[in-house]
Chains A and B, each alone.
Chain A
Amino acid sequence: MRHGNDGREGTGVNAVAQTGHRRLAVGRMAGDRRRVWPWQRTTLAALAVAACAAPFVLEPYRVFQLTMVLVYGIALLGLNLVVGHGGRVSLGHGAFLAIGAYIAAIMTGRLGVPYPLALPVAALVTFGLGLALGRPALRLSGPYLAVVTFVTAAVVPPVIKRFGTVTGGSMGLSVPVPSPPSWTGLAEDQWLYLLVLAVAAVAFAAARNLLESRAGRALTAVRENPAAAEILGVRPGSHRALAFGWSAMYAGVAGTLYAWVVGFVSPDSFTVTLSIVLLAAVVIGGPGSLAGPLLGGVFVTFVPAAAQRAGDAIPGIVSGLLIIVVVCFAPTGLAGLLRMAAGGVARRLGRG
């Protein structure tokens, strides 16, 4: 913790809530009185206990769904770095997810490497690719990042199919599921859940620290006023590209976890639709907040699958309408709404 002595009251999430960009993002809502939920630490502790206890209470299918929420939550956390904190749009994070997943599938499935090794390799490769793609795309002002990432996402499935000798083509590859060490006595789904939970905890802590660090503040400065930031010695291009690299890395890590949890990768799991759903989830969950990605993960895991039952066209109609409605009428997303509700409850309790 590096912010204990800088004159602010609380530490941890309280301090995050006080940094400038959070205030701006939430402050766009009318009627927001900036009352912060007073029991944040208690709530966080309760959530942590619930998260650790969940796999021992719920049935296996529910545990699998929760695991997927966390996997998508990690990817969205990364996307949120670009979208919420950087103010730029990526429509290509499905591509980084695909790369992470295929690295896991090829390393453990084809080459027989122990499965934990796939995680750092996927992280490094996607970080490098993100940096390489972000550098030219973010050099120019304008809509180029959204366009180039959209086209990249469109290119990924055909490329995977074309190099079928390595990737298994359109048939896909099965991935050996990480088995729990025997001394733990855990079932497979519980082990996977706890593994993903641990990675998610590290990812969230890292994202929070990153945003509070010099680099995070530079990113906010570049988003709010590029010219002023540049005059102060912050290079907009480098910081945006670096943020895009980090963000791609999160998606790559999530891809590896996805391959472990689902146990199968195929090009049709990583179409443009996935990238669009990820962007929708960030927008609906709440851009620029730390709770937003988790809420977005809940959206990705449950809403399209539930809508699918009503018909092939329904997921698109629901997601499309939700994006438009949320952007036009609730730009802070679910996280912002939750925050307003919590503020209202806190106010009421404070008065009573």
Chain B
Amino acid sequence: MAGLLLQIVQGLSLGAVYAGLALALVLVHRFNGIVNFAQGELAMLSAYVAWQLLDAGLPFWAALPVTLAVSLVGGMLVERSIIRRVEGDRELAPVAVTVGLMVFVNAAAGLVWSFAVRSFPNPFPAALSFGSAQSGFSALGVLGVVAVMMLLLHAFFRHTGAGLIMRAVAADPVAARLSGVRVGRVLGLGWGLAAAVGAIAGILVAPLLFLEPNMMGGVLVYAFAAAVVGGFRDPVAAVVAGLGLGVAETLAGTYVAFVGADLKVIVPLLVIVAVLVLRRGPAGTAGTAGQW
């Protein structure tokens, strides 16, 4: 029974990471209608930035805000320099560009930091370090960080002027522009926020999976499944689905003999196909406007 509980807690902590990356995907799609295939690799890049800072001797809780600021600016720069050129195009150009970015960032990280696997320090204290309790402790820490991040995002979009402007752009870019909003900047900020949210997912998952350029490949697949459940629009549905996927994956891998450790990756595929078959209407689950 304790084993099952531990599995669920571990599944939730993995799921929190999936939820974080799914949230970043939803953010980008809300602002410029693009599915960002490079989101996972940008998160990996952020994790490397954090590693570099920690390596230079910074304490974790100082390296975290610096990494988030770097990711925010980096995301904005990527949007303003590359993505801007394909905004509003039909499906091929945006998908191809983000796929190109994914391949490029992955290879560039390999060039700079090599493809060797590195260990990443676990930020959560190992106070009760007798086996399972410690992993339970860090799982709760991951969940807590993701929850705080979601609350902050919610507060930002609901209760600040900048958040209101960003919501206006997401709802109707043309009307927002006519009201004097600099839409381009807001779209850039959307990418920056998404990159920062993804950075948190990357930093949280690095101690669990070890740091390497291909670290986020698997995570991205689960994040996609979670984002599809939310129709790439609904952040709450995406986060809940991410948590559920983490638990489902862990339990299926442990208790369903046919699935085992190898075939866990089939869970997100089944979820996506089920959503596509069952969903009615063009996009999104329940009410799409004003979900922030």
Contact = CB atoms under 8 A, between A and B. Distances in A.
- A and B part of one assembly: yes
Interface of A: 83, 87-89, 91, 136-137, 139-144, 146-148, 150-152, 154-155, 158-159, 161-162, 272, 276, 279-280, 283, 287, 311-317, 319-324, 327-328, 331
Contacts of A89: 91-92, 95-96
Contact of A276 (B103, B221, B265): B103
Interface in B188-234: 217-218, 221, 224-225, 228, 231-232
Contacts of A136: 273, 276-277
B103 A316 contact: yes
Nearest to B274: A136
Contacts of A317: 104, 107-108, 111
Interface string B136-180: 000000000000000000000000000000000000000000000
B256 interface: no
Interface stretch (B3-11, B56-64, B82-90): B82-90
21 contacts: A88-B92, A136-B276, A141-B282, A143-B91, A146-B37, A148-B269, A150-B37, A155-B265, A162-B263, A279-B96, A280-B100, A312-B115, A313-B108, A313-B111, A317-B108, A320-B100, A320-B104, A323-B99, A327-B86, A327-B97, A328-B97
A88 B104 contact: no
B272 to A, nearest CB: 5
A72 to B, nearest CB: 18
Given A280-B100, A316-B103, 10 more contacts: A91-B99, A140-B283, A150-B224, A158-B265, A276-B102, A279-B99, A280-B99, A287-B92, A320-B105, A321-B100
A158 B262 contact: yes
Contacts of A161: 262
Contact of A154 (B97, B104, B260, B265): B265
B101 interface: yes
- Chain B interface, DSSP helix/strand/loop, else mixed: helix
B268 interface: yes
A272 B102 CA distance: 12
B185 interface: no
Contacts of B251: none
Contacts of A158: 262-263, 265-266
A142 B232 contact: yes
Contacts of B85: 328
Contact of A320 (B102, B218, B283): B102
A139 to B, nearest CB: 7
Contacts of B105: 320
B111 to A, nearest CB: 4
A87 B92 contact: yes
B266 A319 contact: no
Nearest to A315: B107
A23 to B, nearest CB: 17
B260 A146 contact: no
B78 to A, nearest CB: 11
B104 A146 contact: no
Closest 4 A/B residue pairs (Cβ)? A316-B107, A320-B104, A323-B100, A320-B103
A87 B90 contact: yes
Contacts of B106: 316, 320
A44 to B, nearest CB: 28
B262 A147 contact: no
B233 to A, nearest CB: 10
Contact of B35 (A147, A287, A315, A320): A147
Nearest to A152: B269
A82 to B, nearest CB: 10
A315 B115 CA distance: 14
A159 B263 CA distance: 6
Contacts of B97: 323-324, 327-328
A155 B260 CA distance: 14
A324 B263 contact: no
B110 interface: yes
A129 to B, nearest CB: 12
B265 A316 contact: no
B182 interface: no
B99 A154 contact: no
B232 A324 contact: no
Given A148-B276, A154-B221, A276-B99, A324 B104 contact: yes
B265 A324 contact: no
A155 B262 CA distance: 10
A162 B260 CA distance: 9
A324 B100 contact: yes
A310 to B, nearest CB: 10
B228 A147 contact: yes
Nearest to B112: A313
Interface string B264-287: 011011001100110100110000
B93 A151 contact: no
Nearest to B93: A327
B221 A324 contact: no
B77 to A, nearest CB: 14
B262 A319 contact: no
B95 A143 contact: yes
Nearest to B100: A323
- Most-contacted residue by chain A among B92, B107, B268 (CB, 10 A): B92
B81 to A, nearest CB: 10
Nearest to B95: A89
A319 B95 contact: no
Contacts of A324: 82, 97, 100-101, 104
B91 A144 contact: no
